[in-house]
Amino acid sequence: MITDDKAVDDTHRMDLLLARQLRYGIWLASSVTALGMIVALFGRWIAPHGHTITLGTSIVGKGIALIILLPILRVVLMLIVFLRERNYLFGMISCIVLMTIGVSVMAGLYGPTIH
C-alpha cells in the first residue's frame, strides 16, 4: 500500500495537536480546580441576600467550566484543520456540531426556567 507522506505527516500533526490540546487543557482545568479546593479551605465571603459563597467554590466552578469547554475547543480545532485540508464534508459536520452546542447553550441560558 503506497501512501502519500505529506498526508501522513499532516494527519500525524493533527493528532498531536489534538492530543496536546486535551493533555494541557486537562492539566490546566485540574490545576484550577485544585487551587479552588485549596482556597476553599481558607477563605469565605458573604454574597448578597445572605448566602455564604466561598471564593474556592467560585474557582472550582471555573475549573469545571474549563473541563466542559475542552470538547468544544476540540471541535473548533477540528473544524479549522478540516477547512485547511479542504475536507468540506467534515468541516460542515463540525459546523453543525458547533451550531447544536450553541443553540443548546442559548436555550439553557435564556430559555424558560422551571421552578
Domains in the chain: boundaries? 5-110
- pTM beyond 0.85: the answer is no
Residues 6 or more apart in contact with residue 37 via CB below 8 angstroms? 56, 60
What is the Cα–Cα distance from 14 to 110, expressed in whole angstroms?
Answer: 36
18 backbone dihedrals φ, ψ, rounded to 5°: -70, -35
| Cell numbers found for residue 58 | 467560585
Residues 6 or more apart in contact with residue 22 via CB below 8 angstroms? 70, 74
Q: pLDDT at residue 2 above 60?
A: no
Amino acid present at 89 = L
Residues 6 or more apart in contact with residue 25 via CB below 8 angstroms? 66, 70, 73
Q: Return the CA Rg of the chain.
A: 20
Q: What percent of the chain has pLDDT over 90?
A: 37
Residues 6 or more apart in contact with residue 57 via CB below 8 angstroms? 36, 40
- Length of the chain in terms of residues written: 115
pLDDT at position 4 is 59
Query: 3-class SS at 87?
Result: coil
Q: What is the mean pLDDT of the chain?
A: 83
